[in-house]
Structures are given as structure tokens and as C-alpha cells.
Structure 1
Amino acid sequence: MTTHTQIKASTQGSGSKLLLVHGLGGNGRSWSPIVPLLAGQREVFTIDLPGHGDTAARADSGTFAGLADDLQEYIEQNGLTSIDVAGFSLGGRLVLEMARRGCVGNVVALNPGGFWRGWERTYFKWTLTASQKLLHALRGQLGTLSGSPVSRTALLAQLSARPWALDKAMVERELVAFAETRTVVPLIKDLASGPAQSGPASLQAGRVAIAWGDKDRLCLLRQAPRARAAFPQTAFHWIEGSGHYSIWDRPRDVADIILEGTGSD
């Protein structure tokens, strides 16, 4: 399935359709910890956003607005309007934007960005910029560093509550992707300086659930009430013992939240 934007998509499982949207610098494979937990009940679509993975960048792929427009175009041109969607981090904000635009069904957003204010914007920008520069400089050593629980902890302390316990092959793949994705730097700047995420002007077509890791060190906990206020009909969940990437730290809990939030038994 392709659109004008030539977004790469993969499918797995059977059942009603569920689209998963990855985070900044990731790709469809970022969902690997939980796709097997979802595919028994849903036909799961994973995509590479423009400028990520195997999907080529467009002129505006370094902006949130550009990615949102491309995602909406993909959904509409492939007959997926009203599809259930879930996303984490940047993907979490994108699926909330799709809910705001009314082009999807039920939505689950995990640790979504876009609800920062004041100094939180600077914190987001400079911490992620420093991480990207470090990983880019170390890209030839990321395999070795991923193999050590000590270095995994040092590199991923901002994203995971338990980086020492993560699978080393997954960590290497994700770190390399973040280091080598060229749209990461312009996206960090655009996200930090652009408007905050807004909610719908009226009730969205589907249900919305927002989940937040209670140890998130990137999208800080103080941002969660703002997300709930922007989407007042939201079902909200704290994910205990989870950092920003809850799909790493609590895959079973996240899968349950997604299945519940999108209507599966």
C-alpha cells in the first residue's frame, strides 16, 4: 500500500485494523516489543514516517506539520479513515493530531509530546540535541555500547526507567536509527519552537486514551494534566515503573492499554 508520500508500511496479525505510529528517530520496527502482543487480536499496521526508516523525506519532513499532513494523506488515500491508531512520543502527538482532525477512530497516545511550556521547551531541545550529537559521534561503537548494561543505562537514562534490562539488539537498532535519521535535528528544533498541541474544537469521532510513564524524564509529568485538559473526554492511565518509552519498559501493560483503548476485549 502506497500513497503520494510513499510511506513504507508492514502488516501483521488479523482482526480489525490498528495503525501504530513510532517516535522521533525511530521506525516501524520500534514497535517490535509489543506487536506480537497485539497481532493476536488486531491486524497491525506499522509505518516508517517520512524521513525515517525506509520512507524518504520530503521538503517538510523536518516539521511536525509536514509529518501530520503526510500521515493524514496516507490514512485517507489508503481507505483507512476511522482506523484505530496508537503512537508513542512524537507518534503519540501525531495520533492526537489525527483525532483533532477527525480522520481516525479510537486513539491511544503514549507519553505524547507537544504539551511543554516555557523552560520545558529548552530542556527538551537541548537534552535531545546533545543526545543526538553524542550518538552520531559514537555510531561506530553503538554495538559494543549496547551490549553493556552500564553503558545502556548511561545512554538511555532519559528514555527508560530500566535501561540495563533492555534487549541489547533492540537498543543498538534504536540508537543507530536515532543517530542516523537526518530529520531528527530539524524536528527537534521545530517541536521545541512550534505551537503546543491543541485539542479538538468539538468531540472527536472516536475515544481517546492517554497513558504516561510515571518516571518519564523527557516529557515531564507536569505535562500530563495539560494533555488531559486539551482532550477532556480522555481516559487517562499512569504506567507504573515506566520511563518515556513505555513500549520498552512495560510492553505487556502498554499492549493491554492499547487493546482496551481501541475497543478490543
Structure 2
Amino acid sequence: MAQTRLNTVRRGSGRPLVLVHGLGSSWATWLPIFDRLAATRDVIAFDLPGFGESDPLAGEVTVATLTDAVEGFLRDEGLEEADVVGSSMGGRLVLEMARRGHTGSVVALDPGGFWSPGQRAVFGATVGASIRLIRLLDGMLPTFTQSRIARSALLFQFSDHPWALDPGLVLTELRSFNRAASIDEALDALVQGPTQPGSLATKGKVAIGWGRQDRVTLPSQASVAMQRFPNARFRGFRSCGHFPHWDQPAQTAAFILSATA
């Protein structure tokens, strides 16, 4: 079966570093740290199947099939041993790659899959409500994202200081949510599917970063993640919500470069 066409952006030179975005996002979610990383690395970011400008998967959308797609993309591009970084759902995908035996370094930022049943139910309800609200506001998003108050209301769940975020970044992110063909299936897979298994020994190095003010994947879940990946390096980010690369870009870029050095 042919590999799904994935929209890709590549900049910089050096050792390859692949970036995997989260639920509803696109490659552009990495813009706050892209150039910092590309100053010393060959950075490859892409839209997951059914997100951004990439074609959807032909079959079922699950954590397993999305991970298969990422691994297929790396094989096609000759990047089987590349270091990989994932955010949120993307963090879960790269940890699944580590569990499967990926040989490159893996960095997961606020990954999903380590919640209790109650936390998972709250995640599904609140993120689902956010998606429905953003769809209702689609035509007004260019105006709303210019307002510090509106940015705070729309992204309170995702950022520790949403009013300070770049309006263009926020508009791109919210529009990505509205245009993601596979967002509903992927959300169902996260809410209804199994939690993330761990690994006592991975072939490549593993590092996990977590925003201490994360309201999506709660900071308490970091201890579960570390129990399942006990050899992982951990970093908590202060004054930081669900997206460390948004709220603490300099610290996040430094963490990624150090963890994959």
C-alpha cells in the first residue's frame, strides 16, 4: 500500500531532527523554536496524516496507525535513525516509537496516554468542547485572535499566558483545528483507546518534558510516564502550559538540543 502523502518543511543543516505535532495542529506549531533548532540541526517538520495539508490515512485512525505512518515517512526519507521530538499526541507517537525500538533519541513534550480513567474522560470532554467552539467561531477567528482577552479565553486550557502569544501563531493553530480532516477520529482514538505502554529499556535515549501548569495532560501524569519509561530524562517547565515550545521557547529548544546531543 502506498505511503500517505505528507506535507513537509525542512530547514537547516547538520544531524536530522524530526518534529511531530499534536492533535489538531500542523507543522507550524513549531515556529516559535524552528529557527533555533535549525541553527545547528537539519530540521524536518511535517503534517501528520489528516492534519494540516497532508492526506488522511486510507484506513482506521489510531495511535498505532499514526505511529506506523510516522515510521513509514522516516523510512521513505532515509531518516530511520533520526532524533524525533513530539508534542502532545505527537509526544505519545514518538514514545510509542521508542517502545517499538527506535534507535534515535526521542523527546516527548506533555505527551498523552498516561492519564487515569477520570482524567481521560475530562480530557475528552474539555478538548472536544474546545474543538466545537473553535468550529463555531471559524469566520471570526482573524478578529478574535488579535484580542488579548479573546486569546486568553480560547487558549486558557493550552497556555499559561495565552494573552502573550503571537496572534498569527494562534490563528494558524486554530485554523489547523478547523481544517484537520482526522481530528475527530484521532480524539476518539485517544479517549477510547488504550493508554500508553512503557519500556524498561529503549534502544535510543528518551527525554520527557512537561509544563508545570499544563491543564490538558496534567503534571501529575508525568510521574506515571516516568514509571513507564524509567530510564528517561525529565524536565519540568515553570510558567508553562501544554505547549512548552510556545510558553518557554528558549528553554524548550535548549532542552531538545541537549537531550538529542
- Bucket of the pairwise TM-score, normalised by the shorter protein: over 0.9
- Residues 121 and 255 of structure 1: CA distance in aligned 2, closer, same or farther (over 3 Å): same
Does the 8 Å CA contact 1:106/1:262 hold for their aligned counterparts? Answer: yes
Counterpart of 1:167 in structure 2 is 166
For residues 60 and 247 of structure 1, the distance between their equivalents in structure 2, rounded to whole angstroms, comes to: 31
Matched, 1:35 2:34: yes
Provide the secondary structure at the position in 1 that maps to 2:29. Answer: helix
Counterpart of 2:231 in structure 1 is 233
Query: What is the identity, as a one-letter code, of the residue corresponding to 2:167?
Result: K
Does the 8 Å CA contact 2:212/2:236 hold for their aligned counterparts? Answer: yes
Matched, 1:131 2:130: yes
C-alpha displacement of 1:161: 0.2
For residues 124 and 243 of structure 2, the distance between their equivalents in structure 1, rounded to whole angstroms, comes to: 18
C-alpha displacement of 1:10: 1.5
Matched, 1:247 2:245: yes
Deviations along 1:78-128, one digit per CA (max 9) or x if unpaired, are 221111011110111111111111134001100001111111111010101
Counterpart of 1:25 in structure 2 is 24
For residues 208 and 8 of structure 1, the distance between their equivalents in structure 2, rounded to whole angstroms, comes to: 26
For residues 10 and 169 of structure 1, the distance between their equivalents in structure 2, rounded to whole angstroms, comes to: 18
Alignment of 1:112-127 (within 5 A): 112-127=111-126
For residues 149 and 72 of structure 1, the distance between their equivalents in structure 2, rounded to whole angstroms, comes to: 39
Does the 8 Å CA contact 1:158/1:218 hold for their aligned counterparts? Answer: yes
Matched, 1:210 2:214: no
For residues 189 and 113 of structure 1, the distance between their equivalents in structure 2, rounded to whole angstroms, comes to: 13
Counterpart of 2:48 in structure 1 is 49
Does the 8 Å CA contact 1:62/1:190 hold for their aligned counterparts? Answer: yes
Query: What is the identity, as a one-letter code, of the residue corresponding to 1:209?
Result: A
Query: What is the identity, as a one-letter code, of the residue corresponding to 2:124?
Result: K
Does the 8 Å CA contact 1:136/1:180 hold for their aligned counterparts? Answer: no
Does the 8 Å CA contact 2:51/2:179 hold for their aligned counterparts? Answer: no
C-alpha displacement of 1:76: 2.1
For residues 54 and 82 of structure 1, the distance between their equivalents in structure 2, rounded to whole angstroms, comes to: 25
> Which residues of structure 2 form unaligned runs of 5+?
none
Alignment of 1:68-107 (within 5 A): 68-107=67-106
For residues 207 and 248 of structure 2, the distance between their equivalents in structure 1, rounded to whole angstroms, comes to: 17
C-alpha displacement of 1:61: 5.7
Does the 8 Å CA contact 2:52/2:179 hold for their aligned counterparts? Answer: no
Query: What is the identity, as a one-letter code, of the residue corresponding to 2:133?
Result: L
Instruction: State the aligned residue count.
Output: 260
> Which residues of structure 1 form unaligned runs of 5+?
none
Counterpart of 1:221 in structure 2 is 219
C-alpha displacement of 1:164: 0.2
Alignment of 1:136-147 (within 5 A): 136-147=135-146
Query: What is the identity, as a one-letter code, of the residue corresponding to 1:213?
Result: G
Query: What is the identity, as a one-letter code, of the residue corresponding to 2:127?
Result: L
- Residues 159 and 175 of structure 1: CA distance in aligned 2, closer, same or farther (over 3 Å): same
Query: What is the identity, as a one-letter code, of the residue corresponding to 1:233?
Result: N
Deviations along 1:128-154, one digit per CA (max 9) or x if unpaired, are 110111000110000111000001000
Instruction: Extract structure 1 runs of 4+ deviating beyond 6 A.
Output: none
For residues 212 and 6 of structure 2, the distance between their equivalents in structure 1, rounded to whole angstroms, comes to: 33
Structure 1 vs Structure 2 CA RMSD:
1.2
- Residues 94 and 44 of structure 1: CA distance in aligned 2, closer, same or farther (over 3 Å): same
Q: Report the identity percentage.
A: 43
Matched, 1:191 2:166: no
Partner of residue 257 from structure 1, selected from 241, 255, 258: 255
